[in-house]
Structure 1
Amino acid sequence: MRTATPTRGFLPETDPAPRLPDAFRAWDAMVAELPGLLAAGRARAVLEQLPQADIRELETPGERERALGTLSVFGHAAVHESWRQASASSVPAAIARPWVTLAHSMGRLPVLTYASHGQNNWKRLRPDGPVGLGNLAVLRNFFGGLDENWFVATHVEIEGQAAPLVLAVVAGQRAVETNDPGELLAALRTIADTLEQIHATLVRVRENCDPYIFFTRVQPFMQGMKNVVYEGAAEFGGVPQNFAGGSGAQSTLMPLLDAALGIRHAGDALITYLHELRRYMPAEHQDFLAQVEQGPSIRAYLVECGDRRLNEQYNRCIEGVGRFREEHLAISIEYIQKPARQQASMRGEQGTGGSPFVGYLEKHRKETFSNLLP
């Protein structure tokens, strides 16, 4: 199964479907109305009456992906609309039944994931233009507005920029297998150069996404489902479910880099959590990551051959991953920890999706830099 393309990386090979088939027209209309319904405190009441449609009429992967993302937004809006008091304890049957059935048929989970909220939630304003900031609009949002849209678009651009990196990982491992230092050097240089571009984009999240607005208007709806009943979903039999919410930690990029570069982390709560989040990735992304983890080891090859030029490019890669983690830590503190403390938030200082980030990201940063070669 293909997992990456030269121009898209872990983004879909074709642009996400801009609309659903006619039988689902009411769902698309509800997506457009959702910000207003949330602002009025009426989202759950209206979503409980969501018109039923037969998901078997979804014919293409793009249609199924759009429907899954649409139901995910509806489900989280219905549960977390009143989060300031307490999130609801159930997903209405009108959403839960098709959501659970569709998710299971796709090998996915019925919760808002990074794949639905980011990787498959965009359109190009100019169809012939780049998948990048300035040419991206978000297909589905909650309250909407510049801050929410910019946050999503920043992640989409990062995923698109990473396409050469993904292919370079494959090329690098192939070079180890064939003992081709020249190909490995080119692959490491591509990974390092791409990490510089990705870091520059991550920094840009601050341009149009305010920490206060993010914490109070965006992140609440990205919370997971904690002890939530999916009403009428036969697959769960009325048993409450627990799922993590949408998070950039569900992206395949960082675990891919750890696997490709041989970066090891000592066991801790965040590592356990990150491994758990792999099941929230699309199956083909999980499979690709597992293949890379099986080797061959780029780091072991470099340690054995001791080539200075190769080590220099490898160290550029390690430094790039480390800088990305430094920036991620800074943004997490700025956008989550500080607002949570200022507002004495009932949500606490958990990361997007519920991750226990504060005590561990610095440790992971240090562990990354400890892999530098002499």
Structure 2
Amino acid sequence: MEVTQVKQVIPVTPPDLTEKNLDKLAEYVFNQLENCRSRPWICACRYEYINNLRLGYLNCLTIPDQSSLRRSSRIRDHSDRLSHHRAACQKVYGILYRDDLRRIPYLTWSDDVLVTSLKQRRITLPRQRVRAVYVSKLQHADVTRTFAFMDLPQEIRLMVYEFALQFDEDFYTKKPYGLKPATKPALLQTCSQIREEATPIFYRINRFLLRFGKDDSATSCRTLSWMKRYVSATDLQNLRYITLSSFHYGWSYHIKIDLNCRDPLKWTLQCNHESRHNLSCNNHYPLSEESTVMQERYPRRNCALAKHHQNAGLVAANLAAAHKAIGELWEACGENGRIKPSFAGLLDFVGAVKDINTNLTQR
């Protein structure tokens, strides 16, 4: 089997700052704003100002033809709007170009390095000795290259699966709203042999998010509905790491659990304040704290839910309930010193931990 990369990133086209047609400049801005929106890792706050300029509205304004209005005033007004549009073009281009530099390393290379790389990879130098052509040639070589992956020893393939199938845990814990549950990635759909070898690794190394609700009966359906749809009972037995989450008044609470660990003192509770900025934005400063679930925890003063710290009785009650929940899960799903989760066992476990979570986060 040969593995091929098929997507080539096209760098953004710079604006023509010599253009004097306001409509064409505005069209460039609107098209590049759509380009920004298509890249979810670019935070909206970076182009919010440009989005609110209402360039289309300004273009519709015509200079009134009045005898009292001097021609110099009309020219100055047109010149100001032209500068306004050009500045917007430069701003949106700068946002996308900096993102291209991060996604296309070749853009940061010098011409000599690009030519050397082309020669080393035995790529014929193009007739057009233009930097953009060099970059395009190298990108094309990247996306069309092939590799006989299945010829590697199985031990090496398993190591590759662990790196390729690991997803970002922070993405799931810090951006909970509107997030679709993880199903099977594209690598597991390439062929039956890869699917058979890599699927157990995918469920064993990743942490999966299960959400709480207010209603116990509704929670049971929502929490595991996507698992029942996308995960087979055999694959579910490889599940090890889960995060149980709930949301209250702009704050999210995540209990991180290792199902193979029978000691609830090692569970951790992470609290995050929801931000309108994405994780890559410089303006993203999440107010968060993380602690062992069962220890006394002092919330931040600026948290609307901040109350007095837990009393000893609540800590003891939560600890006893947690021991009971994990113990019942092991009794139902434990086998030969290893946990093999089932849908019924996880459903009971989630219900038991939900009560503990409510006491912890709403005290």
TM-score band by shorter chain is: under 0.3
**More strand as a share of residues:** 2
Q: Which structure's relative contact order is higher, taking Cα pairs within 8 Å and 6+ residues apart? A: 1
TM-score by length of 1: 0.26
